[in-house]
Chains A and B, each alone.
Chain A
Amino acid sequence: MIDLETIVDQCKRNDRAAQAALYKWLAPKLLGLCVRYLQNRDEAEDAMQDAFVKIFTGLSSYKGHGSFEGWAKRIAVNTALTALKKKRRMAFDRNLQMIEDKEVQEDEHQPLSMEFILKCLHQLPVGYRTIINLYLIEKFSHAEIAEKLSISESTSRSQFARARQALMKLLKENNSIIKTAGHG
């Protein structure tokens, strides 16, 4: 267990050992986050490194209110989104085939594994993947997503609905534990 407050204070004084300790604790979380947004592992590492640079240089703006991990993750999310925008891959796939409106449920005895969900997530178009990440996993509101992605709130809602359907379809197709519950 690390004394986060002490480490953050030392990091503010540019103590390299403290920076290393903070990195060691936080890097796996932020890399996991970046991998969800950026399919390519190298790109995710780049985004994570950029996020750490912003975290280390912007520590003075962290006043200790709220969770440090949450603050750092928000920086990582914004950095990953910036990386996506730089690569101009942020267009939503509007030509996605109509997805069957199927209600799915999880098999109680065989929960979806982390790797499997990640694999399905990476098979989604980048726009869908991003909105699933932002709304479903990061719990941003549609208003916040609209602001981050420069889209309207209604677009965010509709895209999330489609993205979720696409994800469920992929989960179903790729794993027998997803079963069709019937049309809604």
Chain B
Amino acid sequence: MAEDENINDHIRNMMAALEMEPKASSFDVIMKKMEKRKKRRFFFILFAGIGLLSGALLLTGALRTEPLLAESPVASSLVAEPVEATKAKTPRVAQREATPSQPFKTQDTEPLQTTADRIKAPKSFTHEAQVNAKHLVSTIASSKSSKSQRALAKPFVTEPVGVVEAIQTTSKDHTDHTISKTNSVSENNTKAGSTNAITQPVTESPVAEPVEIVEANKQNSTRTNDSSAKPASFIFLEPKPLHLCTAGSLTMDDSLIALLTELPGANLNELQKAKRSFSLLLAIGVTPQLGAGLFSAGKNYSSSSSTLYDRRTDEFQSQYMAIKRKQNAFQPDYLYNFKLGFVFDNTWELWFSAGRQTIQYNEQIYSFATGAPILTAPQVSNTAYSTGPETGGIKNTFNYWSYAIEVNRLIRPRRAFQLKLGAGFHVNNLSSSHYVYAVSDNKYSYSAKNDPASETLYIADLNCGIIKPLGRRFQLRASPGIFCSLNSMFNSSYVISQRTCGFQMEVALAFRVFTK
């Protein structure tokens, strides 16, 4: 047993001490894997963000085309605010308010039962409307003779009444001035639980007063003359009775007219405002750019520790940076892309695009010793330097696949065109390149690889532009703006950090696929 342990220990010690030398390129591979991992994480966060944003938009109903009636501003305003007509008080009303305990008197003491009994109200929700209709008729009629009242009431109340909307008022005036006060409803019927019949005469003044159509449900029927009771009345906005009223030969109170005229117009306007739209657009864009370099010291550059490049001293870094700044100038770049856009409520736009971007600049080869260019005329062809230039200059070119997301806020000062304010974020993935870069004093190297060029370039842009409709489906968009890369075009271990910033002018032709 002890021998077993011995051999176990021996194997363990031997194997635990096992060390093997990895390949020389292994560390670089690890660094590249880390870069890829970072990139994957970025895209994961980006797409997760887009997904969350889309989900939030869907949940909040930005993509819904027809708002529910209950959620519309109209419905909410109807529920929340008392009708202006009920607020308008004639001097007579004011007088009544002053003496709330006085019973209302009317010259016409004939009970409405004769009229109301002819109504065979269904025991459904429309029953309330019919009872309310009776009150409306009685109110209107009370401002005229009893004959006219009956003449109007008959065709009016027998008309099928459909209740589509109701408004609840909570005005304190309600209990004092509505003609359907408790004294218009039999206490006996209330006790019996019936709300259909009006058994007592309406003791309303013969002169028309502001009308408030009240619900004749059980709650109202149990109201008392106590003004402290909280009334809950509903005004039914069924157009048919209203049309009948206006067609009659009545002289209506101003407040009633206000009631009849105010609501429908307001509803239409509010409904139009509440209607939401959603459009899908396809576009092709071309963006000429003028970009220049912004230079700083390489973040992770170390003149002594790494063997990746032939680095000498920190003096070389400062010299090279000075040379780069000296030869810095705006250079033409360009971007073209295909775009997919979503427009919400003709207010916000969300665009996704994919395309190609090219960034280029002149790399003049200098002598670090003298600070002067070795070859004064920069050469634009790089074919001669496939093995590495010793002298001369070259136009460094970097081609990227560009993926972007852009958000625009639309402003519509005139119908002929729209203005937009936008911000975009581009992820550029290096697809091909040919460039020279400084290795050490008086020594440049040619590269067509990612190293030391950064594989990914992040660019942000801000723009404001004009959208000009061309017919019903096409748009021409012109958007001047500024752009700036957020990271260096080279790896952080390179001697300098070089970002590109400048001006751009996007011109795009958009096609509206559909609008909901």
- What is A's interface to B at a CB cutoff of 8 Å? 14-17, 19-20, 23, 27-29, 31-33, 35-36, 45, 48-50, 52-53, 56-57, 103-106, 111-114, 117-118, 121, 133, 136-137, 139, 167-168, 181
Contact = CB atoms under 8 A, between A and B. Distances in A.
B26 A15 contact: no
B14 A23 contact: no
Given A28-B22, A32-B18, A57-B37, A20 B7 contact: no
Contacts of B11: 112, 117, 136-137, 167
A135 B352 CA distance: 53
B23 interface: yes
Contacts of A20: 27, 305-306
Interface of B: 3-4, 6-8, 10-12, 14-23, 26-27, 29-31, 33-34, 37, 300, 302, 305-306, 492-493
B12 A53 contact: no
B27 A45 contact: no
Contacts of B302: 16-17
**Which 4 residue pairs are nearest across A and B when measured between Cβ atoms?**
A32-B18, A17-B305, A28-B19, A105-B3
Contact of A114 (B3, B14, B34): B14
B15 A117 contact: yes
Given A53-B37, A111-B10, A31 B30 contact: no
B29 to A, nearest CB: 5
Contacts of A35: 18, 20
A48 B6 CA distance: 30
Given A20-B305, A111-B10, A33 B18 contact: yes
Nearest to A139: B12
Contact of B300 (A16, A27, A167): A16
A14 B27 CA distance: 14
Nearest to A27: B22
Contacts of A137: 11-12, 15-16
Nearest to B36: A53
B300 A15 contact: yes
Contacts of A118: 15, 18
A52 to B, nearest CB: 5
A16 B306 CA distance: 9
Contacts of B305: 16-17, 20
A177 to B, nearest CB: 11
B96 to A, nearest CB: 77
Contact of B21 (A17, A28, A53, A56): A28
Nearest to B12: A137
Given A27-B26, A114-B18, 10 more contacts: A31-B20, A31-B21, A32-B18, A49-B30, A106-B3, A112-B10, A112-B11, A114-B14, A118-B18, A168-B7
Given A104-B7, A112-B14, A117-B14, A28 B20 contact: yes
A66 to B, nearest CB: 17
Nearest to A108: B6
Nearest to A167: B11
Given A20-B306, A112-B14, A31 B22 contact: yes
A48 B19 contact: no
Contacts of B26: 23, 27, 45, 48-49
8 contacts: A16-B300, A16-B305, A17-B300, A23-B27, A27-B21, A48-B26, A106-B6, A137-B12
Q: Which of B21, B23, B306, B492: most chain A CB closer than 10 A?
A: B23
Given A14-B300, A16-B31, A52-B30, A105 B7 contact: yes
Nearest to B6: A106
B15 A57 contact: no
A114 B33 contact: no
A36 B18 contact: yes
Nearest to A32: B18
B445 to A, nearest CB: 20
B114 to A, nearest CB: 88
A45 B23 contact: yes
Contacts of B10: 106, 111-112
Contacts of A106: 3, 6-7, 10
Contacts of B6: 105-106
A53 B37 CA distance: 9
Contacts of B31: 16, 19
B33 A50 contact: yes
B34 A56 contact: yes
Contacts of A19: 31
A31 to B, nearest CB: 5
Contact of B34 (A45, A53, A105, A167): A53
B382 to A, nearest CB: 29
B4 A103 contact: yes
Contacts of B22: 27-28, 31, 45, 48
A179 to B, nearest CB: 11
A14 B26 CA distance: 18
A36 B15 contact: yes
A29 B19 contact: yes
B31 to A, nearest CB: 7
